[in-house]
Amino acid sequence: MEYQAWFECIRCGSRHDLDQVVYECECGGLFEVVHDMEALGRRPGTEWRRLFDQRYMGTVWPYGSGVWGKKEMVCPAVDDDNVVSIYEGGSNLFWADRLGDEMGVGELWIKQCGHSHTGSFKDLGMTVLVSMVKQMRADGQAIPAIACASTGDTSASLAAYGAAAGIPVIVLLPKDKISVSQLIQPIANGALTLSIRTDFDGCMRLVRGLVKSENVYLANSMNSLRIEGQKTVGIELLQQFDWVVPDWIVIPGGNLGNVSALGKGFLEMRQMGLVDRLPRLAVAQARNADPLYRSYRTGFESFEPVEASDTLASAIRIGDPVSWERAIRVMRRLDGVVEEATEAELADACARADRSGLFTCPHTGVALAALEKLIAHGTIRPDSRVVVISTALGLKFPEFKVGYHEDRLGEFEVTPSHANRPVEVDADLEQVRRAVLETVDSVYA
Ligand SMILES: *Cc1c(COP(=O)(O)O)cnc(C)c1O
Ligand SMILES: [Zn+2]
């Protein structure tokens, strides 16, 4: 095999093959996937770029996928026949021209990672993990099922990929803390769906116990195979920018796997000569679940888990993030900052963005609200090119959207500044005309 990768402990450096069932080192450190960078470095950066561009969105299996088009630096250990792909990646890079003008930033782009098979960026990582499991089963390992704890999007993604591969899936969800759309996804895909009377951190503890006592494979992001798929978001972004590195990337953070992945991708691309500079990172957290923000305020000197309270940004309602150590490492190397947003700020940021043609999920709202603050504080300068990673599709969060526009988010202390209510009238032209003239006044004026 020309390209090699293995699990390596981020604390003590101990190694395992990618087909070993290991999540955490005996020393307590997490593993990360490390690639043979010397082998990858034998091909010049310009050639890697050409190869990735030539495959991008094509139809040659499995290289048309935005993830598998970078297979050599993602997961070379899986045979093409065992790849489980639903054509992930290739997501829209929305030029948020009007919103950028309003916010006072030179160029604003929204990377629409939610425009994917199950409606969130989680598909980028799940394709790699489920493919590896298919490979292990093909090689004779007994893995009866894959399991995860989730705030709603990981479970949707795992259920879809498991169903596509014909591998049983078990998901552990916090009861009443995810949207109806998210709940119905694993149910529809035939996963064993456990609705548990606890929060995400509680589900996480339970699934860790389950994988210890049973032979099921763990799909949470402490399993670093997912990070390898997720890191392709940064590579794809550069493909879309003709390999010009943006100044800032703003990304919402919960378990902190995604920011770790984004940073890892950029560091590897620089090492392989695909780029010669790095962007700066801004992680955005909800104030009600903000352990990384608090750590940032200490200069990352310490990290303490917090008890997360309810937030509209339910997918990042995580007080004890698994990947905090990975995240701090990349934040240090990419000169990262952390900002937070209140419920009112994230809700209004979503509504404002939606009025410029987007349809944002609350996590993207956290990122946009944080961006507003970073511009106001002068951290992000007005001439910058900024990319916001939109992590999920707004359509997955109808309760949030409707609640905002009907002014029913009082329990989150949200008083909507941009509410827009439907106007109900009879099927009568005069009533319709009156409604139009009353509400669209300003248009005629
Ligand atoms: C998972 C998720 C996040 C957080 O990503 P982490 O890797 O846990 O930091 C943010 N937004 C959405 C919509 C998600 O599903
Ligand atoms: Zn170790």
Nearest ligand (C-alpha, residue 28): 2
Structure confidence by residue, pLDDT tens digits, 192-227: 999 999 999 899 999 999 998 888 999 998 899 999
CA distance 160 to 171: 12
At 95, give phi and psi (nearest 5°). -85, 100
Ligand 1 binding pocket includes 361 (Cβ within 6 Å): yes
Burial class from Cβ neighbours inside 10 Å (0-12, 13-18, 19+) for residue 226 reads buried
Structure confidence by residue, pLDDT tens digits, 385-401: 999 999 999 999 999 99
Nearest ligand 1 atom, CA 114: 13
Closest CA to 110 of 94, 92, 121, 97: 94
Helices (H) and strands (E) in the chain, counts: 18, 13
Ligand 1 binding pocket includes 174 (Cβ within 6 Å): no
User: Predicted confidence band at 79 (pLDDT cuts at 50, 70, 90)?
Assistant: very high
Ligand 1 binding pocket includes 255 (Cβ within 6 Å): yes
Are 134 and 102 within 8 A, CB to CB? no
Nearest ligand (C-alpha, residue 222): 1
Encoding tokens for residue 173? Answer: 């969800």
Structure confidence by residue, pLDDT tens digits, 160-184: 999 999 999 999 999 999 999 999 9
Q: Is the pLDDT of residue 32 over 70?
A: yes
Ligand 1 binding pocket includes 388 (Cβ within 6 Å): no
Q: What is the pLDDT of residue 442?
A: 57
Which whole number is the average pLDDT over 20-43? 95
The alpha carbon of 257 and the centre of ligand 1 are apart by a number of angstroms equal to 8
Residue whose CB lies within 8 A of the most ligand 1 atoms, among 110, 120, 259, 281, for a mutation test: 120
The alpha carbon of 427 and the centre of ligand 1 are apart by a number of angstroms equal to 44
Closest CA to 329 of 390, 380, 259, 226: 259
The alpha carbon of 441 and the centre of ligand 1 are apart by a number of angstroms equal to 41
Ligand 1 binding pocket includes 257 (Cβ within 6 Å): yes
Host H or E run for residue 388: strand 385-390
The alpha carbon of 432 and the centre of ligand 1 are apart by a number of angstroms equal to 43
Q: What is the pLDDT of residue 125?
A: 98
Ligand 1 binding pocket includes 135 (Cβ within 6 Å): no
- Pairing label, strands 31-35, 5-9: antiparallel
Q: Is the pLDDT of residue 336 over 80?
A: yes
| pLDDT above 70 coverage of the chain, percent | 99
Which whole number is the average pLDDT over 325-337? 97
Encoding tokens for residue 187? Answer: 């149910």
Residue with CA nearest ligand 1 atom 14: 315
Q: Is the pLDDT of residue 107 over 90?
A: yes
The alpha carbon of 217 and the centre of ligand 2 are apart by a number of angstroms equal to 20
Residue whose CB lies within 8 A of the most ligand 1 atoms, among 117, 220, 230, 258, for a mutation test: 258
Q: Is the pLDDT of residue 376 over 90?
A: yes
Are 279 and 248 within 8 A, CB to CB? yes
Structure confidence by residue, pLDDT tens digits, 226-250: 999 999 999 999 999 999 999 999 9
Nearest ligand 1 atom, CA 364: 11
Nearest ligand 1 atom, CA 152: 15
Nearest ligand 1 atom, CA 251: 10
Ligand 1 binding pocket includes 123 (Cβ within 6 Å): no
| pLDDT above 90 coverage of the chain, percent | 95
Torsion angle (degrees, nearest 10) of CA 405, 409, 410, 413: -100
Q: Is the pLDDT of residue 445 over 60?
A: no
pTM above 0.85, yes or no: yes
CA distance 250 to 284: 7
Q: What is the pLDDT of residue 212?
A: 86
The alpha carbon of 114 and the centre of ligand 1 are apart by a number of angstroms equal to 11
Torsion angle (degrees, nearest 10) of CA 248, 251, 256, 259: -40
Structure confidence by residue, pLDDT tens digits, 120-133: 999 999 999 999 99
Residue 276's CB: how many other CB atoms inside 10 A? 9
Nearest ligand (C-alpha, residue 361): 1
User: Predicted confidence band at 1 (pLDDT cuts at 50, 70, 90)?
Assistant: low
Which whole number is the average pLDDT over 7-32? 94
Q: What is the pLDDT of residue 439?
A: 76
Structure confidence by residue, pLDDT tens digits, 397-440: 999 999 999 999 999 999 999 999 999 999 999 999 999 988 77
Which whole number is the average pLDDT over 112-119? 98
The alpha carbon of 8 and the centre of ligand 2 are apart by a number of angstroms equal to 8
Q: What is the pLDDT of residue 444?
A: 57
User: Predicted confidence band at 443 (pLDDT cuts at 50, 70, 90)?
Assistant: low
End-to-end CA distance of the chain: 70
Ligand 1 binding pocket includes 182 (Cβ within 6 Å): no
At 337, give phi and psi (nearest 5°). -125, 160
Ligand 1 binding pocket includes 120 (Cβ within 6 Å): yes
Q: What is the pLDDT of residue 188?
A: 98
